[in-house]
Amino acid sequence: MRRISVVRVIFAACLLTSIAGDALAQNFPSKPLTLICPCPRVTSMESHLQAFAKISTKYLGQPVIVENPRTADVLHGLATMATTGRPDGYTLSMLPIHVLRVAHMEKLNWDPVKDFTYVIGLAGYTYGVVVKADSPFNSLKDLIDYAKANPGSLRYGSPVHGATAHLAMAELDFKTGARLLRVSSGSIADAAKALMDGRILALAENAAAWGPYVDAGTIRLLVTFGEQRSRWNAPTARELGFDIVSYSPFGIVGPKGMDPKVTKLLHDAFNRALDDPEYDKLLRRLELVDWYKSSEDYADWAVDQFRFQRALLERTIGLGRN
């Protein structure tokens, strides 16, 4: 009899927990949400997230407040969410692909795959290689041929060591033996100035850095690293025989252990925001690429990409190298 009573108590407790969880999910969200932006202010990623949050507010029925880092460590907010965040759906973060690399380059006390609930994949960037309009390089082949004939003399700029643009060029170097010499290009304005002044012969960056100059005719786009051609119609690296696809996609994650019902509510609301006409305008304005992933597909992608990024680092710049 006692055993039966214990079983009944356990069953009743589980039932009450389930009912309470359902009630919370049905009332979600009942207060504003915080969306962490793990990147510096005044970047295309930050601009995207601010506008996306505003659009999403219409479909969630609560304000979505973007929180920028207050420290030099832009991943601080994301790390805090991973280690101490409450899985109630009210604190979320944008996840840049760099997070899946940094775990292979630095020692972290959190796991970018296991410590997050993957909600939705959003967008990616158009990365490419540009030269001055009067450059003798009219194609990627011209640039690579010059680099091979003059080992170590082709200086190109990219913003951050180990970031997407650098790794795309390092992969190109690995596949061709061109021995391209990377120079830190600094800010977008600094990068463009360095190219125009001749301090670097090429620039590898996303379209936010070079798009307006290509439109103005002062810079020539040689190649992009997407799956399809961009609006400037330059060939992709894959078209040219190099199996390199790199557009640094990003999405939204929450702390691990979120209620699947809450995750679905968030996904569905964000997905409606992606279909909003204002969002289409946003992608075009920032030269971003649509990269929708469902919660399940996004989580699976993260597992595969985590392994891929380690292999990419190992064969290009090495692990933990500064």
- Cα–Cα dist 38/262, whole Å: 23
pLDDT at 312: 93
Examine the domain organization and report whether 131 and 219 are in the same domain.
Answer: yes
Q: 234, 213, 211: which is closest to 139 by C-alpha?
A: 234
pLDDT at 181: 94
Which position has the token pair 């699947």? Answer: 260
Examine the domain organization and report whether 118 and 134 are in the same domain.
Answer: no
Q: What is the domain-level CATH number for residue 270?
A: 3.40.190.150
- Cα–Cα dist 17/23, whole Å: 10
Helix locations, 44-178, DSSP H: 44-60, 76-84, 98-105, 140-149, 164-176
Which pLDDT tens digit goes with each residue over 176-215?
999 999 998 877 778 888 999 999 999 999 998 899 999 9
| Strand arrangement of the beta sheet that strand 288-293 belongs to | 64-67, 33-36, 91-95, 250-255, 116-125, 288-293
Examine the domain organization and report whether 211 and 254 are in the same domain.
Answer: no
Q: 164, 119, 144: which is closest to 263 by C-alpha?
A: 119
* Beta carbons of 85 and 255 less than 8 angstroms apart: yes
Q: Which of 167, 189, 224 is the last residue of a domain?
A: 224
What residues make up the domain containing 106? 32-124+250-315
Examine the domain organization and report whether 133 and 191 are in the same domain.
Answer: yes
pLDDT at 322: 42
With respect to residue 238, please indicate whether it lies within any of the assigned structural domains: no
With respect to residue 241, please indicate whether it lies within any of the assigned structural domains: no
pLDDT at 30: 97
Examine the domain organization and report whether 204 and 259 are in the same domain.
Answer: no
Q: What is the domain-level CATH number for residue 176?
A: 3.40.190.10
Q: Phi/psi of residue 127, each to 5°?
A: -100, 145
With respect to residue 6, please indicate whether it lies within any of the assigned structural domains: no
Examine the domain organization and report whether 205 and 154 are in the same domain.
Answer: yes
Q: Which of 188, 207, 224 is the last residue of a domain?
A: 224
| Strand arrangement of the beta sheet that strand 202-206 belongs to | 181-184, 155-158, 202-206, 127-132, 219-224
With respect to residue 39, please indicate whether it lies within any of the assigned structural domains: yes
Measure CA 29 to chain center: 26
pLDDT at 169: 96
Which pLDDT tens digit goes with each residue over 150-173?
998 999 999 888 899 999 999 999
pLDDT at 186: 77
Examine the domain organization and report whether 74 and 90 are in the same domain.
Answer: yes
Examine the domain organization and report whether 145 and 211 are in the same domain.
Answer: yes
Examine the domain organization and report whether 47 and 185 are in the same domain.
Answer: no
Q: What phi-psi label fits residue 118: left (phi over 0), alpha (psi between -120 and 50 degrees) or beta?
A: beta
Compute and round to an integer the Cα radius of gyration of the chain: 23
Examine the domain organization and report whether 91 and 155 are in the same domain.
Answer: no
To the nearest 10°, the Cα dihedral for 304, 307, 312, 315?
-140
What is the block-wise mean pLDDT of the chain (322 residues), using blocks of 10 residues?
A: 50 49 75 90 81 97 90 81 96 95 91 97 96 97 96 91 93 93 84 90 93 95 95 96 93 98 98 97 93 98 96 85 44
With respect to residue 48, please indicate whether it lies within any of the assigned structural domains: yes
DSSP-assigned states of every residue in 139-191: SHHHHHHHHHHSTT--EEEESSTTSHHHHHHHHHHHHHT---EEEE--SHHHH
Q: Distances in Å between the alpha carbon of 115 and those of 7, 101, 110, 156? A: 33, 15, 7, 37
With respect to residue 236, please indicate whether it lies within any of the assigned structural domains: no
With respect to residue 237, please indicate whether it lies within any of the assigned structural domains: no
Which position has the token pair 């992933």? Answer: 293
pTM of the predicted model, to two decimals?
0.87
Number of domains in the chain: 2
Q: 54, 164, 123, 127: which is closest to 283 by C-alpha?
A: 123
Examine the domain organization and report whether 151 and 300 are in the same domain.
Answer: no
With respect to residue 197, please indicate whether it lies within any of the assigned structural domains: yes
* Beta carbons of 102 and 111 less than 8 angstroms apart: no
pLDDT at 41: 61
